[in-house]
Homo-oligomer: A and B are copies of this chain.
Amino acid sequence: MQGYDKYAYEPFAVTVDLAVLTLRAGALHVLLVERGQEPYAGHWALPGGFLLPEESAERAARRELAEETGLADVSGLHLEQLRTYSEPDRDPRMRVVSVAFTALLPEPPEPRGGGDAAQARWLPYGSAGPLAFDHDRILADAHDRIGAQLENSCVATAFCPPEFTLGELQQVYETVWGTALDRPNFRRKVLATPGFVEPVPGAARLTGGRGKPAALYRAGTATTLHPPLLRPSREGRPA
């Protein structure tokens, strides 16, 4: 920062890229757009775009999120900066520095058709061949980050609708981590953490279909999870 006066500097194009994740039918899905032009024509890419002159990266990301999902109100959605990708050759045409974000959505709406060319679609995580540019790496980093955050924070509720059952919350963990969890133990842990979830007062119950109806909960006020909810059998614990 202090080098201003001594060194010349090069201007760069700055963009935001969004890894928008959601759960559809018990599987992790990603919002992707199909590229119509070279390079990477026909490949899928993460949605994103350039920063406007008077816009922070956070604001640009939220604007792009609204544009791509077609949602009227994105102000309550969970959006978080992931990291910045700045390899000189990450775009063959020019030097582009990109600030990547992760967004978590409940109940995904069908993405609107977009203006014209690029159509956005929900695709199952990992099903869209190699993505354009370095977007495979960005998406993998986003997945890693979310998985780690489920352990120490309460973001899992960001994947759920305003009222949800503990079974739905558990599915978030199982889907993102790719492991099955013991239901009674998960329940005990979540309810023992103050502020993680709070029961919906009116003995409200939701019947998803078969089985005993489950109690409904809302997201609590807590953001951090102490002690953390560790995923099973990560490297290091052999037996």
Contact = CB atoms under 8 A, between A and B. Distances in A.
A48 B9 CA distance: 13
A84 interface: yes
A133 interface: yes
Contacts of A35: 2
A11 B12 CA distance: 5
Given A6-B115, A234-B226, A17 B45 contact: no
A194 interface: yes
Contacts of A53: 10, 88, 95
Contacts of A214: none
Interface of chain A, main secondary structure? loop
Contacts of A115: 6
A21 interface: no
A236 interface: yes
Nearest to A44: B2
Contacts of A56: 86-88
A213 to B, nearest CB: 31
A49 B8 CA distance: 10
Contacts of A222: 236
Nearest to A100: B84
Identify the 3 closest CB pairs spanning chains A and B, nearest first.
A11-B11, A3-B49, A9-B50
